[in-house]
Amino acid sequence: MTLRTDEPRDEFPGGRPTPSPIPRPPGEEEELRRLWRLPQGIARVTAVNNSQVGVWYIGTALLFFLISGVLALAIRLQLAVPGNDLLDHGTYNQFFTVHGTGMMFLFAVPIVEAIGVFLLPSMLAARDLPFPRLSAFAFWAYFFGGIFFFCSLIFDAAPDGGWFMYPPLTSYEHSPGINTDFWLLGIGFIEISAIAGAIEIVIGILRTRPPGMTLDKLPIYAWSMLVMAGMIIFAFPAVIVATALLEIERAFHWPFFIAERGGDPLLWQHLFWFFGHPEVYIIFLPAAGLVSMMVPTLARRPLVGHDWVVLALVGTGFFSFGLWVHHMFATGIPSLSLSFFSAASMAVAVPSGIQVFAWIATLGAGRVQWTVATHFLFGFLFIFVLGGLTGVMVAVVPFDWQAHDSYFVVAHLHYVLIGGMVFPVFAGLYHWWPTLNGRLLSERLGRWAFWLMFIGFNVAFFPMHISGLLGMPRRVYTYPGDLGWNLLNMISTVGSFVLALGVLLVLIDIARSTFGGGQKAPDNPWNAGTLEWLPNELYATRSIPHVTGLYPLWEQPDLPREVREGAHYLPGAPTGRRETIVTSPIEAKPQYLMPLPGPHWGPFLAGLFTAVHFMCLTVQWYYPSLVPAVLAIAMVIWWLWGLDTGADHPPQDVGGGWRVPVYIQGPKNHSWWGMVVLLLVDGTAFACLIFTYLFLWTVSPDVWPAGGGGLPGLPWLAGGLALWGLSALAIGWARRAVDRNRHGHVRIGLILAWAAMVVGILLDANAQIGTGLVAAASAYGAIASMLVAWQAFHVAVMTLMLGYTLARSAAGLLHAERRVTFDNTLLMGWYSAAQGSIALLLLHLFPRLAI
């Protein structure tokens, strides 16, 4: 419950009293510095501050960009002249696969999340994101996983099936060895890190905004990150499911994609592109958000059509999910289906166009500052608009049939991705660099870098439109010299090296600044209007401002001074630890004071052990892989154990008349929100499995049991449903026991729920096996077994969660006033029971009812 000491003062501009009285007591700021300081020496890896993890994250993404870029240069050298033997076809395949995979999975998505981790808290004036240790774990998992992935090149074991990994090219028959496994296991696990980041970002944006920052005053960048994170939540499970299915097919020969046994290679394409096309917008929207923040600053006026741009971001997020089949126009899908996707592909150009017009109108109406960032923004507009136009071209089905798998598409995708994402990110680097180390990057070097990149990019990629229209296919490692492609390829190769030289200049500039070179920046060098330009240190801003508009620094000129003096919210650390204010998601009113965890070895070690676990799986050390898996879980439990602290302090005054609790339970708690978002991810993955089941049935109904023959009897269904229902009821009963602090009943309820789940899954599996079901025999056997296995995985997760909750109960750390852990277990338990019931109904009833 939120208590108020007096009538809250909701508005503070115009000389009215600020939320906290000044001058502040002595020692308050030093206390903040002490609490938020970084560990030193080797212990620096235990840091969880978003400002530190964000920098590591950005640096690692740039490193992987560099490695992937070097591979691109090797590819261009190989294609510079016909009949070249610089790279053999096997090495070439590995290079272009790792280049594409590295750029998409290890650079593009991570860097937009990294920038979010770094920038969002300061843009929202929060002290940190809500789950700092989860952020740190996501980073370390990505770091170790990425290094491991690129190392596969050294051992000639890199994946070679293209970044899209289409079966049957990647099946166990056509791609033996471990190359493909590196992709499937390596990338699959790194995507889990992306999902962790997305959960963090969603809850950070919705719950840690400063008081007064109502939903309509949310900065555009935060909107774009919110949409991006939402898209990750609904898109990435599809690729995780796809990689799991393909890896299982490779390891155990379950035929999800093998047509001879009822599978279908097109299933991969559906799942992959259901992720893969939104992925383009997952990359583009945050970049567009950065642009929408930079353009008003550089044009010195508010963004034209702010609300329309927000609508466009949300609309793009939705429409982009309706495009996945436009990568499959040449696969023989019914013409009416093609038309739906063609229409959606064209429709998505409208919201993108709204944003472009808003940027041009703002720049046109303002007085533009010509910084390096401005150059990159104009370069972005030119290149992205060209990429968008060719995008509309390939959305037209007959044109796509002509240009499909040609270099025209290579040109289009690079125009969209480099234009739409790399140029804005480089603009952002120059623009926000002062918030990172207090120095400006060089304007002179930056302009050289821009022109080299802009000219190099167009020289490299524009000719590919023509070579594509002349018939040059993509993914070929060489070509004969009499097809008219020679000059175009040579020009592209020269352009690619000019582009690389520009990138190199940027990296030199960054290195120079990192080691202390360059000019010191004033607090707000570009005279921006948003909160990230408030004076801040490791603890973020000295006090959390009260926001009254979209551009607080323009509308409240005294705000930086007031914030620095501690005149706004939470000017100190009232409970003597790291904390930030949690506000309501729509009105941004203070709800409670969230304790934030500090440095810990757990995230670093858990990331390392998780990577080692997947590395062991890749090289087929199945039993040894259990050791790092157990260690990784132990590390997570270690860092979690101390977090659910209960209401260990009385409500605190955070300023402005708001006295808020330091602990809150139920649906207002940020951890509860995290669990709900995780369940959305989980539910999406389950929906992908149901889609798989139905899709395989539509293509191969002949391998399905007919009319109930070959299916377990209906009593098995009733028994299974009863057990899942019992588990849900038992957890619900335990919840009521927690309310009354009846600890014995709590433990009985939890154990009963666990027992019901274990017996339930054993019964389900036994019923299926009893019918003679063989997973490797047919697509039906494979997907039916997969659904049971998926549920068994959830029972395993529940075993851990229930065991953890029981342990906390036994240790006296669970009671009516301290129950966030229990509430999370409850949510997962109910979800698992519901999912188990749906899976049972599908497995038992669908074959009986289907035509």
The Cα 660–Cα 580 span in angstroms is: 12
Q: Is 705 in the site for other proteins (CB under 8 A)?
A: no
Q: Which stretch binds other proteins (CB under 8 A): 292-300, 344-352, 531-539, 643-651?
A: 344-352
Minimum CB separation from other proteins for residue 238, in Å? 13
Q: Is 206 in the site for other proteins (CB under 8 A)?
A: yes
Candidates 701, 708, 725, 732: give the one binding other proteins (CB under 8 A): 701
**Element of type H or E holding 34:** helix 28-36
Q: By C-beta, is 514 or 584 nearer to other proteins?
A: 584
Q: By C-beta, is 568 or 589 nearer to other proteins?
A: 589
The DSSP symbol for 550 reads S
Q: Is 547 in the site for other proteins (CB under 8 A)?
A: no
The Cα 122–Cα 527 span in angstroms is: 16
Q: Is 13 in the site for other proteins (CB under 8 A)?
A: no
Q: Is 307 in the site for other proteins (CB under 8 A)?
A: yes
Q: Which of 244, 330, 391 lies closest to 685, judged by CA?
A: 244
Q: Is 584 in the site for other proteins (CB under 8 A)?
A: yes
The DSSP symbol for 648 reads -
Rg (C-alpha) for the chain, rounded Å, is: 28
Q: Which stretch binds other proteins (CB under 8 A): 460-468, 584-592, 768-776, 786-794?
A: 584-592
- Residue 78 has a CB neighbour count (10 Å cut-off) of 22
Q: By C-beta, is 446 or 545 nearer to other proteins?
A: 545
- Strand ranges (E), 656-735: 658-660
Q: Which stretch binds other proteins (CB under 8 A): 308-316, 428-436, 522-530, 767-775?
A: 308-316
Evaluated on CA atoms 431, 417, 186, 75, the torsion sign reads negative
Candidates 344, 452, 453, 783: give the one binding other proteins (CB under 8 A): 344
Candidates 623, 698, 811, 812: give the one binding other proteins (CB under 8 A): 698
What does 313-350 look like in DSSP terms, one character per residue? HHHHHHHGGGGGGGG-GGG---HHHHHHHHHHHHHTHH
Q: Which stretch binds other proteins (CB under 8 A): 106-114, 314-322, 563-571, 710-718?
A: 314-322
Q: Which of 141, 75, 140 lies closest to 103, judged by CA?
A: 75
Q: Is 818 helix (H, G, I), strand (E, B) or coil?
A: strand
Minimum CB separation from other proteins for residue 207, in Å? 10
Q: Is 308 in the site for other proteins (CB under 8 A)?
A: yes
Q: Which stretch binds other proteins (CB under 8 A): 416-424, 521-529, 535-543, 580-588?
A: 580-588
- Strand ranges (E), 347-468: none
Q: Which of 533, 315, 558 lies closest to 431, judged by CA?
A: 533
391 and 411 in contact (C-beta within 8 Å)? no
Q: Is 340 in the site for other proteins (CB under 8 A)?
A: yes
Q: Is 209 in the site for other proteins (CB under 8 A)?
A: no
The Cα 562–Cα 559 span in angstroms is: 5
Q: By C-beta, is 80 or 312 nearer to other proteins?
A: 312
Q: Is 592 in the site for other proteins (CB under 8 A)?
A: no
Q: Is 683 in the site for other proteins (CB under 8 A)?
A: no
Q: Is 319 in the site for other proteins (CB under 8 A)?
A: yes
Q: Is 589 in the site for other proteins (CB under 8 A)?
A: yes
Q: Where do we find the tokens 């002509």? A: 402
Please state the φ and ψ torsions of residue 151, each to the nearest 5 degrees: -65, -25
User: How would you classify the pairing of strands 3-4 and 536-537?
Assistant: unpaired
Q: Which stretch binds other proteins (CB under 8 A): 249-257, 302-310, 572-580, 840-848?
A: 302-310
Amino acid at 169: L
- Strand ranges (E), 218-312: none
Taking CA atoms, 347 is separated from 100, 325, 360, 531, in Å, by 27, 14, 21, 34
Minimum CB separation from other proteins for residue 331, in Å? 13
Give the long-range contacts of residues 305-309, CB within 8 A, separation 24 or more: 305/354, 305/357, 305/358, 305/361, 306/220, 306/358, 306/550, 307/216, 308/354, 308/358, 309/220, 309/354, 309/355, 309/358
The Cα 106–Cα 66 span in angstroms is: 11
Q: By C-beta, is 508 or 586 nearer to other proteins?
A: 586
Q: Per-residue x/- mask for other proteins, residues 255 to 294, rule CB under 8 A?
A: ----------------------------------------
**Burial of 523 from C-beta contacts in 10 A (0-12 / 13-18 / 19+):** middle
Minimum CB separation from other proteins for residue 395, in Å? 12
**Which 348-407 positions form the footprint of other proteins (CB under 8 A)?**
350-351
Q: Which stretch binds other proteins (CB under 8 A): 44-52, 174-182, 583-591, 724-732?
A: 583-591
CA atoms within 13 A on the CB side of 256: 33
Q: Is 478 in the site for other proteins (CB under 8 A)?
A: no
Candidates 69, 296, 315, 712: give the one binding other proteins (CB under 8 A): 315
Q: By C-beta, is 289 or 351 nearer to other proteins?
A: 351
User: How would you classify the pairing of strands 658-660 and 3-4?
Assistant: antiparallel
Q: Is 311 in the site for other proteins (CB under 8 A)?
A: yes
Q: Is 702 in the site for other proteins (CB under 8 A)?
A: no
Q: By C-beta, is 346 or 633 nearer to other proteins?
A: 346
Minimum CB separation from other proteins for residue 569, in Å? 18
Q: By C-beta, is 351 or 836 nearer to other proteins?
A: 351
How many chain residues touch other proteins (CB under 8 A)?
Answer: 39
Q: Given the rule CB under 8 A, which residues bind other proteins?
A: 206, 214-217, 307-308, 310-311, 314-315, 318-319, 321-322, 325, 334-337, 339-344, 346-347, 350-351, 584-587, 589, 698-699, 701, 851
